[in-house]
């Protein structure tokens, strides 16, 4: 009888983040009174001085303000809100790109992110070398990597450029490779932020079809941020309206869209 995966518990100040790959947990993601505060300095010099002195003045912005919501296993939820509402910050905390200032976040399952698609690549390495490096970072075995890499290369449509240094790639080519990798991993939780407009219309359609394919698999949980109401309705059954970092409404996607557009 196999045991459940051991959770990773991180405490930073008043914040707690719990992560594991326990897909038997009916909860995929939970935010409990989460706050994320950023310090804004007048310039980079002031930011540097602040590491040595508490006298340096700054202003604060609450990207997440007492944010609470629960995403059950297998749900597809759209985070809806204006620019600066805190939607993308919430997704970044789910993926571990940044940490909350206070509150508790639980993430149960393997997360794959379609966020900043071109981030994290080593420009000195080729596209293929970057893929191999990411496979290692994900902890994939040699056999898993061998089976997965041809699929990633084919989906990216980079052809011979896959063996060229990534510094020679356009931003679109980097984004395509990033999407190809992140969407080829078999996630339990998929987070998407404005990633489906990659490349030309043909490739963008291909990306949308890939997300539908991932979502069709039983138990995959999706959290989706988009400025397109039509896209939110296409991919999600539930919606959470976020305003100034706080969840104002949660419900069926049609009701969430109606609430958002009425404000």
Please tell me the predicted confidence (pLDDT) of residue 128.
95
Least confident of 48-52, 113-117, 119-123, 152-156: 113-117
Mention every residue, 6+ apart, whose C-beta is less than 8 A from residue 159: none
> pLDDT tens digit string along 203-246?
878 888 888 888 877 678 999 887 778 888 888 999 999 999 99
CA gap 102, 15 in Å, rounded: 4
For the residues 171-190, what does the mean pLDDT come to?
Answer: 85
Three state DSSP letters for the chain? CCCCCCCEEEEECEEEEEEECCCCCCEEEEEEEEEEEEEECCCHHHHHHCCCCCCCCCEEEEEEEEEEEEEECCCEEEEECCCCCCHHHHHHHHHCCCCCCEEEEEEECCEEEECCCCCCCCCCCEHHHHHHHHHHHCCCCHHHHHHHHHHHHHHHCCHHHHHCEHHHCCHHHHHHHHHHHHHHCCCCEEEEECCCCCCCHHHHHHHHHHHHHHHCCCCCEEEEECCCHHHHHHHCCEEEEEECCEEEEEEEHHHHHHHHHHC
Structural domains of the chain in order of their starting residue, each with its CATH number = 8-110+223-262 (3.40.50.300), 120-185 (no CATH)
> pLDDT tens digit string along 93-118?
998 889 999 999 999 998 887 776 66
Closest-CA residue to 221 (of 96, 98, 67, 78): 78
> pLDDT tens digit string along 35-77?
999 988 888 888 888 888 888 888 888 999 999 999 999 999 9
* Model confidence, pTM: 0.80
Please tell me the predicted confidence (pLDDT) of residue 138.
79
Please tell me the predicted confidence (pLDDT) of residue 118.
66
pLDDT of 15 over the 90 cut: yes
Residue 6: pLDDT band (50, 70, 90) is: low
């Amino acid at each position: 009888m196999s045991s459940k995966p051991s959770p990773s518990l991180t405490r930073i100040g008043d914040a707690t983040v719990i992560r594991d790959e326990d897909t038997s947990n009916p909860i995929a993601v939970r935010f409990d009174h989460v706050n994320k505060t950023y310090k804004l300095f007048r310039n980079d010099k002031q930011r540097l001085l602040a590491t040595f002195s508490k006298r340096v003045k700054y202003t604060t912005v609450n990207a997440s303000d007492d944010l609470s919501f629960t995403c059950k296993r297998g749900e597809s939820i759209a985070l809806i809100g204006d620019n600066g509402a805190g939607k993308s910050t919430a997704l970044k905390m789910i993926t571990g790109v940044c940490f909350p200032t206070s509150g508790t976040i639980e993430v149960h399952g393997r997360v794959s992110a379609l966020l900043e698609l071109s981030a994290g690549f080593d420009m000195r390495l080729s596209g293929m070398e970057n893929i191999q490096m990411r496979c290692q970072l994900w902890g994939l075995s040699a056999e898993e990597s061998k089976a997965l890499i041809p699929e990633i290369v084919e989906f990216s449509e980079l052809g011979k450029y896959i063996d060229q240094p990534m510094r020679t790639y356009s931003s679109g080519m980097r984004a395509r490779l990033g999407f190809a990798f992140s969407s080829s991993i078999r996630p339990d939780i998929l987070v998407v932020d404005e990633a489906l407009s990659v490349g030309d219309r043909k490739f963008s359609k291909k990306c949308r079809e890939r997300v539908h394919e991932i979502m069709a698999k039983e138990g995959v949980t999706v959290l989706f941020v988009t400025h397109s109401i039509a896209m939110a309705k296409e991919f999600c059954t539930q919606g959470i309206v976020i305003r100034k970092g706080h969840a104002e409404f949660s419900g069926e996607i049609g009701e969430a869209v109606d609430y958002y557009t009425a404000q």
